[in-house]
Amino acid sequence: MSDPRADAPPTAADVAAAREKALAALSEAPDLDALDEAKRVHLGKRSPLATLQRGLGLLEDAARREVGRAINEAREALTAAEAARREELEAERDRVQLAAEAVDVTLPPRTPRRGALHPAVETTEAMVDAFCGLGFTPVTGPEVESEWFNFEALNIPADHPARGLMDTIYVRGLGAEPDDDPRRPGITPLLLRTHTSPVQVRTLLAQQPPVYVVVPGRVYRSDVADATHLPAFFQIEGLAIDRDLSFADLRGTLAAAIRALLGDDVPIRLRPHHFQFTEPSCEVDAFFDGEWMEVLGAGMVHPNVLRASGVDPKQWQGFAFGVGPERLAMLRHAVTDIRQFVDGDLRFLSAQSSVPA
Ligand code: DAH
């Protein structure tokens, strides 16, 4: 049957044909879009049924009632068929979507990446903590230092060969130049401190003994980086000045701190050594991983250092030490190349922090 025309009187057969065609389109719509389209075509204002309805006026009363009833029944049947098909298609759509969005609750969660302290900082904090527990107070000093604090006051005079052992980086343009004669009054060249020891002198000039301080900080040397050297690295200085401190106090204090970091059963030994600012001096080794490893330098503070700091060596004496946290961290975490501390490799930086002290 061709589509009904508005000017032809509609028949019951026309209605039946339109109904059958519409029923097929609605109940067999393959998806929701097709169903919407079939609804528009077969139940909308321009559908064949609507056209037939408009033609009812062309009919006699009896025929109009009969055809009109057929149209109404067709419309009801088609509306019901459309709703039934929609329910089916929506259920199918939801089923597909739920399957696609299914979550496997047994999978491990994606944990956010945690920040971590730099291993040298973590070791520094552990060391400073250990000394705080022994009654020491943390203090700091400047990284740009005068030659006087870095050398002279520490019993390292200008012509002393010990200066040559520390490859010093001088700071030009700030204060005096390195070639200036340091003995000339008023002139003391600036440099990047080569060790934290100048803070011993700064502390003693600023506060009366008894003094128990621990000094974390960065130091600089014009060294080329290799597996065991960096041009910029950390140190922790310690200074204890009181009336009756002896070498036994030095040994006991350092043994306690080293054990706090490396483990309770780690033996230490003291080897004679030389530092300009201590007398006697020693190096402290720890027996770790089957080997004696050098851990720090120490000694009884030299009377010349006390005098330069305005402290009377007859009344006060004590000990000092200097330790490299990177070296310590290398022992604690079995690191073989000190350059790893500055490479910025996140696998290295975050792996170390989970190791307990
Ligand atoms: N200042 C020394 C250095 O950088 C380390 C040091 C050794 C510090 C002995 C001390 C000490 O206080 O007593 O190599």
For the stretch 334-348, pLDDT in tens is 899 999 999 988 888
Report d(CA 144, CA 171) in Å as an integer.
Answer: 8
Name the residue of 321, 323, 326 to mutate for ligand 1: max ligand atoms within 8 A of Cβ. Answer: 321
219 Cα nearest atom in ligand 1:
4
Gyration radius (Cα) of the chain, Å: 45
The token pair that represents 284 in the structure block:
């402290």
Reply yes or no on whether the pLDDT at 356 is more than 50: no
Report the atom number in ligand 1 closest to the C-alpha of 200.
Answer: 12
CB 316 within 8 A of CB 335: no
| Residue 354 predicted with pLDDT over 60 | no
In the reported structure, the alpha carbon of residue 322 is separated from the centroid of ligand 1 by a whole-number distance in angstroms of 4
Given a cut of 50, whether residue 316 has pLDDT beyond it is yes
How confident is the model at residue 355, as a pLDDT?
Answer: 45
User: What average pLDDT does this structure show over 206-235?
Assistant: 95
Digit-coded pLDDT (tens) for 142-181 = 999 999 999 999 999 888 877 776 789 988 755 555 555 5
Residue 357 has pLDDT above 60, yes or no: no
Q: In what order do the strands lie in the sheet with 317-323?
A: 137-138, 211-220, 232-242, 317-323, 291-301, 278-288, 268-275
Question: What superfamily in CATH does domain 119-351 come from?
Answer: Bira Bifunctional Protein; Domain 2 (3.30.930.10)
Cα–Cα distance measured from residue 335 to residue 289, given in angstroms and rounded to the nearest whole number:
13
Token pair belonging to 93? 């759509």
Complete DSSP assignment for 156-212: --TT-THHHHS--EE-TTSSS-TTS-TTSTT---EEE-SSSTHHHHHHHHHSPSSEE
Mean pLDDT computed over 53-63? 92
DSSP 240: E
Mutation choice for ligand 1 from 156, 196, 234, 277, CB with most ligand atoms inside 8 A: 277
103-106, long-range: CB < 8 A, 24+ apart: none
209 lines ligand 1 (CB under 6 A): no
Q: Mutate which of 149, 156, 195, 200 to test ligand 1's pocket (most atoms within 8 Å of Cβ)?
A: 195
Residue nearest to atom 4 of ligand 1 (CA): 195
Sign of CA dihedral 331, 336, 337, 340: negative
Give me the residue spans of the domains in the chain: 12-100, 119-351
Question: Quick one: how far is CA 231 from the chain centroid?
Answer: 25
The answer to whether the pTM exceeds 0.85 is no
- Mean pLDDT within 260-268: 88
Residue 98 has pLDDT above 90, yes or no: yes
Q: How far is the CA of 178 from the centre of ligand 1 (A)?
A: 23
